[in-house]
Copies of this chain bind each other. A is one copy, B any other.
Amino acid sequence: MVFEAASVGTPEGDQAKSKKALKKEAKEAAKAAKKEEKKSQNASQLQEAENDYSAGKYGALPMIQSGDKISREFTHVKDLTKVLADQTVWIRGRLHTSRAKGKQCFAVIRQQQYSVQCLIAVSDTTSKAMVKFASNITKESIVDVEATVRIVNQSIESCSQKTVELHVIQLFTVSAAKSQLPLLIEDASRPVKDEGFVEIHTPKIISAASEGGANVFTVSYFKTSAYLAQSPQLYKQMAIAADFDKVFTVGAVFRAEDSNTHRHLTEFVGLDLEMAFKYHYHEVVDVIANSFTQIFKGLRDKFAAEIAAVSQQYPVEPFTFLDPPLRLDFATGVKMLREAGVEIGDEDDLSTPDEKLLGRLVKKTYDTDFYILDKYPLAVRPFYTMPDPKDNKKSNSYDMFMRGEEVLSGAQRIHDPEFLAERAKLHGVDLEKIKAYIDAFRFGCPPHAGGGIGMERVVMLYLGLDNIRKTSMFPRDPKRLTP
């Protein structure tokens, strides 16, 4: 047993314990120690064999099971700088690398994205056995280190903490890694929330398919069947009809599409916005576009180190954007494509290759990886899309693109129940099935527009990754359901 409970302080109140309790505790401790011995057998044997003068200063900690309360102060690796020179600190981190070299062992301890070099060298307080123990710890194990902070003469380029190293006094494994793990870099980016937006939560289990019957997952729901929502749109709109003014929701969106591509997931994180406006849906387009600009600036300014780390592994041209963003009319996009030799009708939707090509043309002409394509043909948008009052072949709808791939689709929605029913009928939608939706607008509803953003796509395209699975901790596709 190498862990000295006494050295880290006795919790208040222990003095008051009954003999019986103390006896019981002693028994438990003996049991725990025995269990522990098994784990750190190698270390223990060495310590015993050599009558080790470092005994008790290293080894495997018993599994932390919240026995006694210990109020030890830990320093975060990121805070290990010259300011702490010659002070003694405790850190808890991962063994990033270690390398034995004669009577010493150099180790790098990592805590999240920060790392520090540690030296364990044979001395009158550090035994050979302790150095050997250090050398044998498996990489990625979680370790507790007590050490003195020392300023180094030469910058340590391999660590984030370049100006100091740690001279180890005590070293324990908290949770040992069984084998080597490939390093994963997980980047989480959160969108900027605009003033005045209220976050809402919308149901995922719904009674009717929200965007038509295709591509929807079916759920057994007690004695009936239900569906997984393909979009929170109808609920966002009801919130607007209930005077929430500006709402957003972040949550799971489901698509039962058997698309095994680099950019499709069956479950993804949607950031959906909906906003009442006064006179023109461009009021909303401007807010959404500005949100993107804020996201891009935030990523660039606050996550430069993380972005650099990713682009070291996946090199890519940095993401460019204009402020304010570029907004093109759909007709202008079609013109650009035609000039590039693409055959496309005025009321056709863009194919994925068309979108990619247009992205390249836009980038060449305007030097931006982000732009808005506005005024899509009415024929290619859902029934609830508001027609353009000046041209009934067009609609008040828009897509937004990053590196030539769609990341947001949105529109002004029809807020007049009679007109909505008329448009639904024209699209062959069964009015009975969308009655609750249409009824939501019968008590007055402000004009409104919005859109839905696929967050994994935004991350993928911002970083220029080749596959959306690289942006999700636990991606779901037609063939992947675990972990």
- Whether the Cβ atoms of B205 and A473 lie closer than 8 Å is no
Q: Which residues of B contact A463 (CB under 8 A)?
A: none
Determine the distance from Cα of A267 to Cα of B252 in the docked complex, in whole angstroms: 13
Tell me the number of copies of this protein.
2
- Whether the Cβ atoms of A267 and B186 lie closer than 8 Å is no
- Whether the Cβ atoms of B222 and A219 lie closer than 8 Å is no
- Whether the Cβ atoms of B32 and A204 lie closer than 8 Å is no
Taking a contact as CB atoms closer than 8 A, the residue among B258, B419, B446 that contacts A222 in the complex is B258
Stretch of A81-89, A173-181, A355-363 lying at the B interface = A173-181
Q: Which residues of B contact A224 (CB under 8 A)?
A: 481
Nearest chain B residue, comparing its CB with the CB of A386: B65
- Whether the Cβ atoms of A188 and B198 lie closer than 8 Å is yes
- Whether the Cβ atoms of B188 and A473 lie closer than 8 Å is no
Taking a contact as CB atoms closer than 8 A, the residue among B228, B250, B278 that contacts A70 in the complex is B278
Taking a contact as CB atoms closer than 8 A, the residue among B65, B69, B72, B177 that contacts A396 in the complex is B65
Q: Write the A279-306 contact mask toward B (1 if CB under 8 angstroms, else 0).
A: 1111000000000000000000000000
* Chain B: minimal CB distance from A97 (Å): 15
Q: Does A405 contact B (CB under 8 A)?
A: no
- Whether the Cβ atoms of B419 and A66 lie closer than 8 Å is no
Q: Does A384 contact B (CB under 8 A)?
A: no
* Chain B: minimal CB distance from A469 (Å): 13
Q: Does A256 contact B (CB under 8 A)?
A: yes
Determine the distance from Cα of A252 to Cα of B140 in the docked complex, in whole angstroms: 33
Q: Which residues of B contact A94 (CB under 8 A)?
A: 243, 444
* Chain B: minimal CB distance from A249 (Å): 10
Q: Which residues of B contact A174 (CB under 8 A)?
A: 444, 446-447
Known: A65-B387, A67-B390, A389-B66. A443 touches B140 (CB 8 A): yes
Count residues on chain A whose CB falls below 8 Å from chain B CBs: 103
Q: Write the A91-107 contact mask toward B (1 if CB under 8 angstroms, else 0).
A: 01010000000000000
- Whether the Cβ atoms of A199 and B207 lie closer than 8 Å is no
Q: Does A200 contact B (CB under 8 A)?
A: yes
Q: Does A437 contact B (CB under 8 A)?
A: yes
Q: Which residues of B contact A390 (CB under 8 A)?
A: 24-25, 28, 67
Q: Write the A464-477 contact mask toward B (1 if CB under 8 angstroms, else 0).
A: 00000000011010
- A residues touching B (Cβ–Cβ < 8 Å)? 24-25, 28, 32, 63-70, 72, 74, 92, 94, 111-112, 140-142, 174-179, 181, 184, 186, 188, 190, 198-208, 217-222, 224, 226, 228, 234-235, 238-239, 242-245, 250-252, 254, 256, 258, 266-267, 269, 278-282, 386-390, 396, 412, 415-417, 419, 436-437, 440-447, 455, 473-474, 476, 478, 481-483
Given contacts A219-B219, A239-B473, 11 further A-B contacts (CB under 8 A): A24-B390, A65-B396, A65-B447, A66-B447, A69-B280, A94-B243, A112-B245, A176-B444, A202-B474, A203-B267, A251-B251
For this complex, 27 residue pairs linking A to B, each with C-beta atoms less than 8 Å apart, are A25-B390, A32-B389, A63-B416, A63-B419, A63-B447, A64-B278, A66-B396, A72-B279, A94-B243, A94-B444, A179-B443, A188-B199, A200-B473, A203-B252, A204-B204, A204-B252, A204-B267, A205-B267, A205-B481, A206-B481, A206-B482, A207-B481, A218-B220, A235-B473, A239-B473, A251-B252, A436-B483
